[in-house]
Amino acid sequence: MVDYLIVGLGLAGIAFCERLEEHGKSFMVINDQSQTSSNIAGGLYNPVILKRFNLAWKAHEQLGLIQDFYKSLEDKLGVSLDHKVPVLRRFASVEEQNLWFEAADKQRLKPYLSTKLLINNNPSLNAPFGFGEVLQTGRVDTLKLVKVYSGYLSKKKLLFEETFNFEELKADVNNVSYGNINAKRIVFATGFGLKSNKYFNYLPLNGTKGELLTIKAPLLNEERVIKSSVFIIPIGNDLYRIGSTYKWKDKTNEPTSEARLELLTKLETFLNCDYKIVSHVAGIRPTVADRRPLVGKHPVIDNIYLLNGFGSRGVMIAPYASNQLYEYIENSRSIDPEMDITRYEQANIKV
Ligand SMILES: Cc1cc2nc3c(=O)[nH]c(=O)nc-3n(C[C@H](O)[C@H](O)[C@H](O)COP(=O)(O)OP(=O)(O)OC[C@H]3O[C@@H](n4cnc5c(N)ncnc54)[C@H](O)[C@@H]3O)c2cc1C
């Protein structure tokens, strides 16, 4: 008997495992490769929505948690994950500059938007109106995190690499059983895989496909993240990730030539140097109709829980949402009502 069975080992599953280890709870994990979101994410964390210069949802609370969270993962796993890189928003006009400085004046945004106008000094970038710098930003190497964390659990024989079979799950008032595993509770953290979860697929997880390119550009010489119509994210060795796209119809993890063309067309409006494409990846962001996470207990069955809906901000949301789920289960604390799944209609629930 273990305390928890967790299904899914992306950012959500990892964040929940971390809470369990922190509190000395026993657990096992089942994970397959059907979803790729955490493996391919740009990995950026940044408290500001750069399209409209708004503060992201609960950004302040989330930023307060992520530093310790990723630092303790780095210490435990012995790898470097959190790269504290500045994010520069490229201005397309004087109007945009003005909007930025108006926003930077607001109390809530003051800690996160620099009031200095940065002039472009990189000849490989076209940025005649300069940049604004977002403060307290960085990039987490999510692919490395998933890989190293999977290895860490495998070594301890806590990870089963297989697809969860819903027919094998039995739940009663005291515990759940799945094959040979008996657990007090089960937590589903399967990202867009929620669609095939009969317990929770009544929830409005839409999913938004995103694609990213990696390019090699030896002349770009840029160490900061540049946000224009696409992001340029430096990852070292003259490699840069270019992303990303947002598509709502296609729900496959296959890279497409349309997305590649879209990314390159946008990139070339502000990149002046030669480059070559090194790789192209795709995944589905677990996005929700109201843009809030999906966290909580199954409305009918006591020992079945959900941690999902991190959308395009998993790096920042994972520590926050996993904390709340843990506190809810173990210490009867209430979940932030904005992300508690009880906010959704329960008419279509299957048991
Ligand atoms: C192109 C792109 C760029 C992004 N950039 C950023 C960014 O810069 N910053 C940021 O914060 N976020 C970013 N995101 C969003 C981020 O990737 C997600 O918010 C986050 O990774 C979701 O994590 P998750 O654990 O909920 O889901 P996932 O990463 O999808 O993990 C779910 C896991 O569960 C497994 N699984 C599913 N079903 C089953 C099953 N039946 N049995 C066993 N295992 C199962 C999957 O295979 C997967 O391993 C980006 C996403 C995309 C697509």
Please, are residues 238 and 218 in contact by the beta-carbon 8 Å criterion?
yes
Tens digits of per-residue pLDDT, 81-130?
999 999 999 999 999 999 999 999 999 999 999 999 999 999 999 999 99
Extract the tokens encoding 60. Answer: 């302040």
**Which residue's CA lies nearest to atom 25 of ligand 1?**
10
**Best residue among 62, 285, 307 to mutate for probing ligand 1, ranked by most atoms within 8 Å of CB:** 285
Query: Among 233, 188, 193, 218, which residue's Cα sits nearest to residue 6?
Result: 188
**Which residue's CA lies nearest to atom 31 of ligand 1?**
10
For the Cβ of 138 lying below 6 angstroms from any atom of ligand 1, the answer is no
Q: How far is the CA of 126 from the centre of ligand 1 (A)?
A: 33
- Mean pLDDT computed over 48-76: 95
Q: What is the mean pLDDT of the chain?
A: 96
Three-state secondary structure call for residue 247? strand
**Which residue's CA lies nearest to atom 18 of ligand 1?**
314
Q: How far is the CA of 11 from the centre of ligand 1 (A)?
A: 7
Banded pLDDT at 346 (limits 50, 70, 90): low
For the Cβ of 309 lying below 6 angstroms from any atom of ligand 1, the answer is no
**Which residue's CA lies nearest to atom 41 of ligand 1?**
164
- What pLDDT was estimated at residue 348? 56
- What pLDDT was estimated at residue 264? 98
Does the pLDDT value for residue 48 go beyond 70?
Answer: yes
- What pLDDT was estimated at residue 172? 87
Query: Among 52, 39, 30, 34, which residue's Cα sits nearest to residue 10?
Result: 39
**Which residue's CA lies nearest to atom 26 of ligand 1?**
191
Sign of CA dihedral 308, 314, 316, 318: positive
Banded pLDDT at 349 (limits 50, 70, 90): low
Query: Among 331, 284, 329, which residue's Cα sits nearest to residue 304?
Result: 329
Tens digits of per-residue pLDDT, 260-313?
999 999 999 999 999 999 999 999 999 999 999 999 999 999 899 999 999 999
The backbone torsions φ and ψ at residue 67, rounded to the nearest 5 degrees and listed phi first, read -60, -50
- Mean pLDDT computed over 177-204: 97
For the Cβ of 296 lying below 6 angstroms from any atom of ligand 1, the answer is no
**Which residue's CA lies nearest to atom 27 of ligand 1?**
191
Tens digits of per-residue pLDDT, 251-269?
999 999 999 999 999 999 9
Q: Of all residues in the chain, what percent carry a pLDDT higher than 70?
A: 98
Q: Report the distance separating Cα 132 and Cα 88, nearest Å.
A: 6
Does the pLDDT value for residue 46 go beyond 60?
Answer: yes
Please, are residues 180 and 28 in contact by the beta-carbon 8 Å criterion?
no
**Which residue's CA lies nearest to atom 15 of ligand 1?**
312
Atom of ligand 1 nearest to the CA of 191: 27
The whole-model pTM stands at 0.97
- Those residues whose C-beta lies under 8 Å from the C-beta of residue 257, and which sit 6 or more positions away, are none
Query: Among 319, 252, 235, 315, which residue's Cα sits nearest to residue 17?
Result: 319
Atom of ligand 1 nearest to the CA of 33: 47
Longest dimension (CA), the chain: 65
Q: How far is the CA of 41 from the centre of ligand 1 (A)?
A: 8
Q: Report the distance separating Cα 249 and Cα 298, nearest Å.
A: 28
- What pLDDT was estimated at residue 21? 98
Q: Tell me, what DSSP letter sits at residue 340? A: B
**Best residue among 85, 168, 312, 322 to mutate for probing ligand 1, ranked by most atoms within 8 Å of CB:** 312
Atom of ligand 1 nearest to the CA of 211: 1
> What is the DSSP pairing of strand 304-308 with strand 294-297?
antiparallel
Q: Report the distance separating Cα 152 and Cα 77, nearest Å.
A: 8
Please, are residues 306 and 341 in contact by the beta-carbon 8 Å criterion?
yes
Q: How far is the CA of 291 from the centre of ligand 1 (A)?
A: 15
- Mean pLDDT computed over 200-213: 97
Banded pLDDT at 351 (limits 50, 70, 90): low
Does the pLDDT value for residue 347 go beyond 70?
Answer: no
Q: Report the distance separating Cα 32 and Cα 234, nearest Å.
A: 29
Extract the tokens encoding 47. Answer: 């408290």
**Which residue's CA lies nearest to atom 21 of ligand 1?**
38
**Which residue's CA lies nearest to atom 51 of ligand 1?**
41
Banded pLDDT at 350 (limits 50, 70, 90): low
Q: Tell me, what DSSP letter sits at residue 91? A: P
